[in-house]
Amino acid sequence: MSDLPKTCHIMEVGPRDGLQIEPKVLTVEEKLRLIDGLEKAGFTEIEAGSFVNPKAVPQMANTPEVFAGITPKPGVLYRALWLNAKGLERAVATPNVAVDGVLHLTASEVFVKRNTNRSIAETFEQLPSWIELYRTHGIPVDSMGVMAAFGCNFEGNVPPQRVVDIIARTRDIIAEHGGALKYVNLADTMGWAVPDGIKRLCGMVQERWPELELKLHLHDTRGMAMANALAGLEAGVAKYDGSIAGLGGCPFAGHKGAAGNICSEDLAFMCAEMGIDTGLDLDALIEVAALAEELVGRTVPGKVMKGGSLERIRHAVAS
Amino acid sequence: MSDLPKTCHIMEVGPRDGLQIEPKVLTVEEKLRLIDGLEKAGFTEIEAGSFVNPKAVPQMANTPEVFAGITPKPGVLYRALWLNAKGLERAVATPNVAVDGVLHLTASEVFVKRNTNRSIAETFEQLPSWIELYRTHGIPVDSMGVMAAFGCNFEGNVPPQRVVDIIARTRDIIAEHGGALKYVNLADTMGWAVPDGIKRLCGMVQERWPELELKLHLHDTRGMAMANALAGLEAGVAKYDGSIAGLGGCPFAGHKGAAGNICSEDLAFMCAEMGIDTGLDLDALIEVAALAEELVGRTVPGKVMKGGSLERIRHAVAS
């Protein structure tokens, strides 16, 4: 496993992706406690909320107050999500939001239509106006995300070549507008990826554009998240989204216990045990995972928070 | 990932390792329903119980009745566990038990002492009498298991060389008694393994004894089971123990939601999606996982049973 990266950056998405379908809506104070714990555990990039329709996602309605309540720590980026121009305008107007110039693409024709009422082609038509909108705020577009990059519950398989084509076209559009694509986030939005598919798609992208920095956004819907992260690491991918305590699952009846995002502290544990530096403190991660569980008020999927740190045992048996 | 095996054999251990710490003791009828479902899903090797002290493990007290109640299917092996001579005698005397000639070793000095009141050295001293005991029943010893092969909660790290030495010595003792070691089961009993450790130990064993057939017994205590299975598959290991619905966790207060064995159907899903044939039927697996959840009466860790089969979605969107 000599190809493993020496460091791995985990962006914590728990306060956004993790909480957005929880039945319990966390208060501003509760979210700030969670964010504070995440900072103490060493995260340097935290997605703290989203500027989307509060009627559609009531869990995120207090996002402006959450950002306003943050006392920003040096070196920490507080990220947010927006999916339309109004959302971006709100993000820009809110203190402490680290607005990145990101374009949101989707690799499933059916899903993008359901989600945004636009086709993939229509999404591309909108990219120049997005780039212009970012420009008016002085933000260079250098980043893109591809949702449903590995498959879609409404469409089935997503061929990797389609994702490569979407990246190519987005890269061209950014270049036509004087920018340069640097970052690509491949999202397994509905838990379709398996390890060989991760390696295949990441390999295709890396082979064509070795200069691009890849990130993986993994969901544990079918239990594959950690194996997919391992496949990503083996392919040299050194950036991941993760959710503290594995938040992001669906606790509703009929889906009780369904899995969420890849669990940040479990991923950090795997990295640490394999000698990959995440800059995170596992004991502090376990502590904030317990806080997350307390705040949402239900059993969460995280494993290391229950199984315990090996370092602690090593120290105990050595003394 | 060209080194992946073409087929993968999963032995189902749910009715034994999966149920042995459940607070609810399943009746003979319930266990037989579970075993029936497992057979229908395609398992050809099922660990159906254990001949251990019923006072210590009341969940397994009805093991003789369970075996007596099985209507054996052609091609299916019904396995059991025993840890002392009395247990083996009981297994041999019980109908439908496929008694294999297995020697149980442990790689942790502290754990083996706690578990059996013997040291590793004393365990080796007993091996000849075990081989003799098997011989009196006409069973050739060709198999061994190594518990705590990757680390131990009571001792800490277990150096892989120690495991190799244990295999070497056991292999020699079997050879001295006219037999030949063929099968080695490496058990991550307490969830200490991470993927590079799996590859390292499996690689060391395979390099020294290419003729040995390796199996991995993985626990998801710290969320590593599926990544460890992937590492095993990438190292060419084609045999795994698995537990339906991920049974085997600890549902007691303080450990609520703690993970169990690697989940059979999630592992079978990963294999199927990567083109590795397990001979198992995923829809039937999901059905028997739901039955397992119903029988134990609590939310189980299995993911695919909640996330659903991709093949079903592919068929639905194609039609």
Block means of pLDDT (10 residues each) for chain A, 319 residues, are 87 96 94 98 98 93 98 97 95 97 96 92 97 97 97 95 98 98 97 97 98 97 97 98 91 62 98 98 98 94 94 91
Q: B109 and B206 in one domain?
A: yes
Q: Is residue B298 domain-resident?
A: yes
Interchain CB contact of B86 with A (< 8 Å): no
Tell me whether residues A195 and B270 touch, CB distance under 8 A: yes
Q: What are phi and psi of B256, to 5 degrees?
A: -50, 125
Mean pLDDT computed over every residue of chain B = 95
Distance CA A199, CA A214 (A): 12
Q: A59 and A38 in one domain?
A: yes
Q: For residue B220, list chain A residues with Cβ-Cβ distance below 8 A.
A: 303
Domain boundary among B166, B194, B212: B212
Q: B197 and B163 in one domain?
A: yes
Half-sphere exposure of A78 (CA within 13 A, CB side): 27
Q: What is the pLDDT of residue B255?
A: 55
Strands B151-152, B156-157: pairing is: antiparallel
Q: Is residue B231 domain-resident?
A: no
Domain boundary among A191, A213, A236: A236
Q: What is the pLDDT of residue A3?
A: 80
Distance CA B70, CA B47 (A): 12
Q: Is the pTM of this model over 0.90?
A: yes
Q: A114 and A190 in one domain?
A: yes
Q: Could you tell me the CA-to-CA distances from B204 to B161, B175, B180 in Å, in that order?
A: 8, 21, 19
- Count of domains for chain B: 2
- pLDDT tens column, B203-260: 999 999 999 999 999 999 999 999 999 999 999 999 999 999 999 976 655 555 567 9
Task: Please name the residues in contact with B222: beta carbons below 8 A apart, sequence gap of 6 or more.
Answer: A266, A269, A303, A304, A307, A308, A310, B191, B192, B259
Q: Which domain holds residue B311?
A: 1-99+243-319
Tell me whether residues B155 and A317 touch, CB distance under 8 A: yes
∠ CA A84-A87-A92, nearest 5°, is 125
Q: How far is A297 from chain B (nearest CA, A)?
A: 13
Distance CA B198, CA B229 (A): 9
- Nearest residue to B288 (alpha-carbon basis) of B7, B9, B12: B12
Tokens 């997605």 -> residue: A47
Q: Is residue B232 domain-resident?
A: no
Q: Is residue B92 domain-resident?
A: yes
Residue B266 has pLDDT above 60, yes or no: yes
- pLDDT tens column, B113-130: 998 899 999 999 999 999
Q: B119 and B28 in one domain?
A: no
| CATH classification at residue A252 | 3.20.20.70
**Residue B139 pLDDT level (bands cut at 50, 70, 90):** very high
Q: What is the pLDDT of residue A256?
A: 57
Q: For residue B153, list chain A residues with Cβ-Cβ distance below 8 A.
A: 313
Q: Is residue B220 domain-resident?
A: no
Partnered with residue A141 across adjacent β-strands are A101
Partnered with residue A147 across adjacent β-strands are A106
- In the chain, the amino acid numbered A295 is L
Q: What is the pLDDT of residue A255?
A: 54
Q: How far is B310 from chain A (nearest CA, A)?
A: 7
Q: B201 and B126 in one domain?
A: yes
Q: B208 and B104 in one domain?
A: yes
Whether the predicted interface score ipTM is above 0.90 = yes
Domain boundary among A236, A263, A287: A236
Q: Is residue B229 domain-resident?
A: no
Q: Which residues of B are catalytic?
A: 250
Q: How far is B88 from chain A (nearest CA, A)?
A: 32
Q: A208 and A133 in one domain?
A: yes
Q: B112 and B203 in one domain?
A: yes
SS3 A37: helix
Closest-CA residue in chain A for B157? A314
Q: Is residue B16 domain-resident?
A: yes
Residue B291 has pLDDT above 80, yes or no: yes
- Nearest residue to A225 (alpha-carbon basis) of A197, A193, A255, A257: A193
Q: For residue B223, list chain A residues with Cβ-Cβ distance below 8 A.
A: 226, 263, 266, 269-270, 302-304, 307
Distance CA B94, CA B284 (A): 29
Q: B133 and B123 in one domain?
A: yes
Q: A187 and A203 in one domain?
A: yes
- DSSP secondary structure letter of residue A277: B
Tell me whether residues A307 and B256 touch, CB distance under 8 A: no
| Chain A to chain B Cβ contacts (< 8 Å) | 140
Q: Is residue B137 domain-resident?
A: yes
Residue A116 near residue A85 (C-beta atoms within 8 A): no
Q: A229 and A113 in one domain?
A: yes
SS3 A231: helix
